[in-house]
Amino acid sequence: MRIEWPSKLAMLFAVAIAPLLAACDDQASADTPKAASPDVGIVTVKAEPYALIRELPGRVAPTRVADVRPRVSGIVTARMFNQGSDVKAGDALYQIDPKPFEVELQASEAALEKAKAGLDLAVPQATRSAALAKTQAISTAQHEIAVATVNQAKAEVAAREADVARAKLNLEYATIRAPISGRIGAARISEGALVVQNDTSNLATIQQLDPIYADFTQSAAELSKLRRAVESGDLERIAPDSVKVRLLLDDGTRYPLTGKLLFSEARVDASTGQVTLRGEFLNPDKVLLPGMYVRVLIEQGIDSDAITLPEQAIQRNGGGGSEVFVIKDDNRAAIQQVRLGGLQDGKWLVLDGLKPGDRVVVDGFQKFVAGDAVKPRSFSQSAEASDDDNPIKTISATR
């Protein structure tokens, strides 16, 4: 087979420059720097006391409620409060026409004066009859009548004094006053209305809002589980007077003041299986109003050696399980399966899968995969970690 001279020259040229090209490739490889290990934020796992907090549904209730009712009958002549305002115990709310009660008082006082005059007459007569009875100038029966007359006069004076006191009381009741301090609601009647003594319909309602109650419920099963955990030593009991109770409002914001647990009912509602608990909160700004729906956060035990992780450290695998990236001794990332408890205050309670001293990645997930070498740095909650660092977040309560 005959090869053309141009083809021979091309082949000889390729063979000649091949070593030069290989040398250039080796030089380029030597000049290219190796990729540096990426920085990742980590936390070192440690066991520490952890307060077990339950989030329970509840309703706000006033500490005291008083219905304003008339204690005497009459025509209302004035309303002396602003609806929806705060009133103090003893403040005048309504005025009933006092004239009939003033007249009744005058009549009672006149009857008292008459009774006193009768007593003033009976006493000297009894004194004289006693002297005459000693000399037998009058019979014993006549003296006994004189003494009885004095006693009757005294009783009449006492009865009339009671009438005067009743008349004064009715006159005082003509001014209807606030029985307790609190916020008064709508006025149920207006001037000119007739009110009747001991009427079942109220004229207004006053509710004490500071302090205020939050009534909430918890299942009897949860309380039994909690009690068993305390008895087994898994949790430490919190003294009743040290239990902290917090509130989440209906818009998700946290109420700034911490309350105290007052009591837990000693019975279970047969229809719901729930036990009612009550917390008390200061309410100086009247933010909490009766009937408001709230979520109650209550401390019910302390795990003395719990392990917690920031929320963003938890990843979700394809099977729906929870896992984290841990940094091994050679600074390589590895996946570790974990079992979670509850989420509170941005931290997950880790029930299984980690031990004190483990280093867990918190941010920088987009920079590596399992098995890569990384450069760990201490993570701070104030560090700028965006949602892109942890594209999959666990938001459920338990895993």
Tell me which fold the domain 72-96+174-201 belongs to. OB fold (Dihydrolipoamide Acetyltransferase, E2P) (2.40.50)
User: What is the pLDDT confidence band of residue 198, given thresholds at 50, 70 and 90?
Assistant: confident
pLDDT of residue 234 exceeding 70: no
> What does residue 306 show for φ and ψ, rounded to 5 degrees?
-85, 155
Tell me the average pLDDT of the chain: 79
Q: Give the pLDDT score at 62.
A: 92
Q: What is the pLDDT of residues 142-197, one digit of tens each?
A: 878 888 888 998 999 999 999 999 999 999 999 999 999 999 999 998 899 999 98
Q: What burial class does residue 75 get, using C-beta atoms within 10 Å of its C-beta: 0-12 exposed, 13-18 middle, 19+ buried?
A: middle
Q: Which of 290-294, 377-381, 394-398 has the lowest mean pLDDT?
A: 394-398
Q: Give the pLDDT score at 271.
A: 77
State which CATH number among 1.10.10.10, 3.40.50.920, 1.20.120.450, 1.10.287.470 fits the domain covering 98-173: 1.10.287.470
CATH class of 39-48+305-389: mainly beta
Other beta carbons within 10 Å of 225: 11
- HSE-CB for 36 with a 13 A CA cutoff: 5
CA–CA separation, 393 and 399 (whole Å) = 13
Locate the domains of the chain by residue range.
Answer: 39-48+305-389, 52-63+207-304, 72-96+174-201, 98-173
Largest interatomic CA distance in the chain: 187
Query: Is the CB of residue 130 less than 8 Å from the CB of residue 142?
Result: no
pLDDT of residue 381 exceeding 70: no
> What does residue 148 show for φ and ψ, rounded to 5 degrees?
-65, -35
Q: What is the pLDDT of residues 30-89, one digit of tens each?
A: 454 555 788 888 888 888 877 777 788 889 999 999 999 999 999 999 999 999 899 999
What is the length of the chain? 399
User: What is the pLDDT confidence band of residue 396, given thresholds at 50, 70 and 90?
Assistant: very low
| pLDDT winner (highest mean) among 26-30, 310-314, 394-398 | 310-314
* Percent of the chain's residues with pLDDT above 70: 79
Instruction: Concatenate the DSSP letters of all residues of 231-293 into one string.
Output: HHTSSBPPPGGG-EEEEE-TTSPBPSS-EEEEEE-SS--TTT-EEEEEEEE--TT--S-TT-E
- Is residue 211 reached through a cis peptide bond, with omega within 30 degrees of 0 on the bond before it? yes
Give the dihedral sign, CA 118/120/125/130.
positive
Give the pTM: 0.63
With respect to CATH, is domain 52-63+207-304 assigned 1.20.1260.10?
no
